[in-house]
Amino acid sequence: MSTSKPRMPRRPRSVVWYYFDKLANDPFKARCKLCLSICQHGTNTSNLFYHLKHKHPASYEEAEEQREQENKLYMELKAKAGKTVTPAGRGRGRGRGRPPTMGSPKDLSGTMIGTMAVIKTENDGTVGPAFSPQALSGTGRKSYSGSIGRGKMASLDVNSAIVHWLAADMVHPSVVTKKGFKFFLSACGMRTDLPSKKTMSDTLVPKLTEEAKNMVRQDLASVSSVALTLETWTYRETQAFVTITAHFIKDNWSMTSYVLETFECTEDKTETNLATNLKRVTDEWDLTKDVVVLLSNIPDEVMSNAIIVNGWEELSCFGYALNRVVSEAMASVTDLVRVHKKMSEASVYFYENIKASDALAAVQQQHNLPTNRLKQERSTLWTSTFAMMQRMVEQYEAVNTVLCFLGRDHMCLCDDEVELIRDVIQILNPFQAAVEELCTEPYTCVSKLIPIATLLQQVTAASIAAEDASTQAALKSGLISQMQQHFSNLENNPLLATATLLDPRFKQHAFTDAEALEAAQERLLLDTQTVVKTSDSVDSKASTASTGSSASLWGMFDKKVVNAKALKTDVSEADNETRRFFKEVNILRTADPFQWWKLNEVQFPHLKVLATKFLCVPATATDSQRLFTKEGIEFATRRDMFRPTHLNNMLFLNQNLNV
């Protein structure tokens, strides 16, 4: 009777296919399940593993571990079958088996899974584990402790992750009741028996807010200087709200901002009530004595008086002033207003008329023009008007062709008007560059205001001729007039001047007024002397106590010598430190001033204290992206979805959580 040989185990399929799907129409290409990228793989999977390794390193490591385990099992089965066993290395011979976990949320950034089921909590409807500082903005990305795998998905309680997602994206809690959202959770292998929207709004969100507040308090506990910004905004065009944000520099020289509170001020908006509310908020966070300055996004006499009542200093929002300068200058030129009206009417016409829009696309293709739609302007953003002008100059030939064909000749732009628009774009280019400067940097310090304002005035005034009476000259004159009104006397502002001097990119070179520079340097020297005296007060007291223990015969004389030495030390040390600072070569304008201070704080220990005080002040009271782009309008739309009673918690979490 013959004995049958052990059956040879089948070579396992590569685990990389748990992360990729083959394309039906192309057998040599696959789509990544994590980022949806298309990868060429030929007859092997090397390219696919290369993609995992460089784009999704966490998933790559999981795939390698899974491969080792399954390859080990394969070798054992092969040995039992009487075949020669060769040890396998990393990189080839991936195995088949239970699908590995789908990676960390870092690999799934940009997807709803990446935002949601990442925190394991008890299935009791609570918000999950206590906060860590890394979960807050300004302290880096949240370090996730869990990963999403098909085997573990069902055991995860996604309540906490969903609350994080709602806050991060300003999504209304009613989404948890929607069929589509539940279908999505079910497809991901997660449970769909979620708490109601009322539980989310009234229980889970407040609980998460309290946990976040505790961590914010820990960060603010060591703060010695803080700048506050007050953003006044309208809820559903009926109610007025104020959002207070604190800005400060941490010990590691990282700039940090936290929203403290949002409260309504529609009724009884008096300076007394507003001052009381502001004081209440700063007292609650123990910041009253640390406030350096307050910035408000909208100049308001009541707001200014409320700030004065509390004994704080007020600073105008540069972003708001820049908007006013350009908008009012353009509105003062009659010919430009007329051309602007024609452009606006044409843009709205093509936006609302499908026939005109389709005809424009056809004409663009015939003339080999970019198939771009006309830009729509928004009354509150001069930058949208600037973008509309640029697009109209690009497409004016196609636009005129369609308008004439459809009998809208009165909207057509003549050659002179197009040339005027080109000149206006050229004039406004520096102002657009200033806006981009404010929007592209993660944080724009107030130290940039004097250089930017000075350069804008110099560039605008450079090409004006006294006898020029053109529309272009009128616009330049209007811009200069508005800048003199809104940007006047910036170099004499103590806070702006000191911040500019302490910025290693600018120092004295940003000033054009010699008297203002001299006064600013004197103030900086006096402030440095105060810091020196404060820091040496403990040593001075110790020295005085030691001298007092000497013989009474020399006691008065020794005390006099100690006092004279202390006075001399304060003045000389402050003068020496400021001189050494100004002798240092300026860093590049594009360099990070906070990084420079982090590397040089030991050399300038007293100026460091002043730098943390003055460089924490932002240039705008509202986030620059929301101030100058349509992102602000989109954010306001999402904000209006919530009830007034829920706004404070949602805005607090939205701005302070770093999901």
Q: How confident is the model at residue 141 (pLDDT cuts 50, 70, 90)?
A: very low
What are the Cα distances from residue 157, in Å, to 86, 163, 193? Answer: 44, 12, 10
609: three-class secondary structure by DSSP: helix
CA–CA dist 141, 168 (Å, integer):
13
For residue 245, pLDDT beyond 50: yes
- Provide the pairing of β-strand 291-296 with 226-235: parallel
Closest residue by Cα to residue 463 from 476, 452, 481: 476
Give per-residue pLDDT as tens, 252-276. 999 999 999 999 988 777 888 999 9
Answer for the pair 45, 16: CB distance below 8 angstroms, yes or no.
Answer: yes
Domain end: 69, 100, 131, which one?
Answer: 100
Closest residue by Cα to residue 408 from 472, 346, 332, 475: 346
For residue 395, pLDDT beyond 90: yes
Instruction: Please state the rounded mean pLDDT for residues 167-191.
Output: 87
Domains in the chain: how many in total? Answer: 5
Task: Report yes or no on 639 lying in a domain.
Answer: no
Q: How confident is the model at residue 121 (pLDDT cuts 50, 70, 90)?
A: very low
For residue 540, pLDDT beyond 70: no
Task: Report yes or no on 16 lying in a domain.
Answer: yes
CA–CA dist 419, 411 (Å, integer):
16
- The per-residue pLDDT for 545 is 52
340 and 442 belong to one structural domain: yes
The backbone region for 11, taken as left when phi is positive above 0, alpha when psi lies in -120 to 50, beta otherwise, is beta
149 and 83 belong to one structural domain: no
Q: How confident is the model at residue 536 (pLDDT cuts 50, 70, 90)?
A: low
Closest residue by Cα to residue 198 from 125, 260, 112: 125
Tokens standing for residue 260: 């403290």
For residue 225, pLDDT beyond 60: yes
**Residue 657: count of CB within 10 angstroms of its CB:** 19
Q: How confident is the model at residue 75 (pLDDT cuts 50, 70, 90)?
A: confident
Q: How confident is the model at residue 464 (pLDDT cuts 50, 70, 90)?
A: confident
Task: Report yes or no on 626 lying in a domain.
Answer: no
Domain span at residue 254? 226-317
Tell me which of 12-16, 81-85, 228-232, 600-604 is least confident. 81-85
Q: In what order do the strands lie in the sheet with 239-249?
A: 255-264, 239-249, 226-235, 291-296, 314-316
Instruction: Please state the rounded mean pLDDT for residues 427-448.
Output: 89
Residue 655 vs residue 127, higher pLDDT = 655
**What does the DSSP 8-state code read for residue 381?**
B
**Residue 640: count of CB within 10 angstroms of its CB:** 12
Q: Terminal CA-to-CA distance of the chain, rounded, Å?
A: 69
464 and 337 belong to one structural domain: yes
What is the length of the chain? 659
> In 221-261, which ranges are continuous DSSP H helix?
none
471 and 356 belong to one structural domain: yes
Residue 629 vs residue 542, higher pLDDT = 629
- Residues with Cβ within 8 Å of residue 562, at least 6 apart in sequence: 540, 543, 544, 547
Domain end: 65, 100, 135, which one?
Answer: 100
476 and 523 belong to one structural domain: no
Give per-residue pLDDT as tens, 270-301. 888 999 999 999 999 999 999 999 999 887 88
Q: How confident is the model at residue 221 (pLDDT cuts 50, 70, 90)?
A: very high
Residue 565 vs residue 463, higher pLDDT = 463
Q: Is the pTM of this model over 0.75?
A: no
Task: Report yes or no on 625 lying in a domain.
Answer: no
- The per-residue pLDDT for 117 is 35
Task: Report yes or no on 637 lying in a domain.
Answer: no
Percent of the chain at pLDDT exceeding 90: 52
Answer for the pair 231, 241: CB distance below 8 angstroms, yes or no.
Answer: no
Give per-residue pLDDT as tens, 188-203. 877 778 888 899 999 9
- The per-residue pLDDT for 595 is 95
284 and 426 belong to one structural domain: no
Tokens standing for residue 409: 């000749």
Domain end: 194, 215, 236, which one?
Answer: 215
Provide φ and ψ at 562, rounded to 5°.
-60, -45
The backbone region for 91, taken as left when phi is positive above 0, alpha when psi lies in -120 to 50, beta otherwise, is left
Task: Report yes or no on 634 lying in a domain.
Answer: no
For the CA atoms of 426, 476, 618, 490, the dihedral, rounded to the nearest 10 degrees, stands at: 150
For residue 602, pLDDT beyond 90: yes
- The per-residue pLDDT for 49 is 84
387 and 283 belong to one structural domain: no
Closest residue by Cα to residue 60 from 27, 41, 11, 68: 68
Average pLDDT, the chain: 82
204 and 154 belong to one structural domain: yes
Q: How confident is the model at residue 136 (pLDDT cuts 50, 70, 90)?
A: low
**CATH number where 271 lies:** 3.30.420.40
The DSSP-derived string for 144-161 is: ------HHHHTT---HHH
383 and 447 belong to one structural domain: yes
- The per-residue pLDDT for 527 is 95
Single-letter amino acid code for the residue at 451:
P
Single-letter amino acid code for the residue at 635:
F
For residue 1, pLDDT beyond 70: no
- The per-residue pLDDT for 237 is 85
Task: Report yes or no on 495 lying in a domain.
Answer: no
128 and 152 belong to one structural domain: yes
172 and 310 belong to one structural domain: no
CA atoms within 13 A on the CB side of 157: 13
Residue 447 burial class via C-beta count within 10 angstroms: exposed 0-12, middle 13-18, buried 19 and up? buried
Task: Report yes or no on 619 lying in a domain.
Answer: no
126 and 169 belong to one structural domain: yes
Single-letter amino acid code for the residue at 253:
W
- The per-residue pLDDT for 108 is 38
What are the Cα distances from residue 651, in Å, to 107, 195, 206, 264, 535? Answer: 27, 21, 12, 13, 39
Give per-residue pLDDT as tens, 325-347. 999 999 999 999 999 999 999 99
Give per-residue pLDDT as tens, 93-115. 444 444 444 444 334 333 333 33
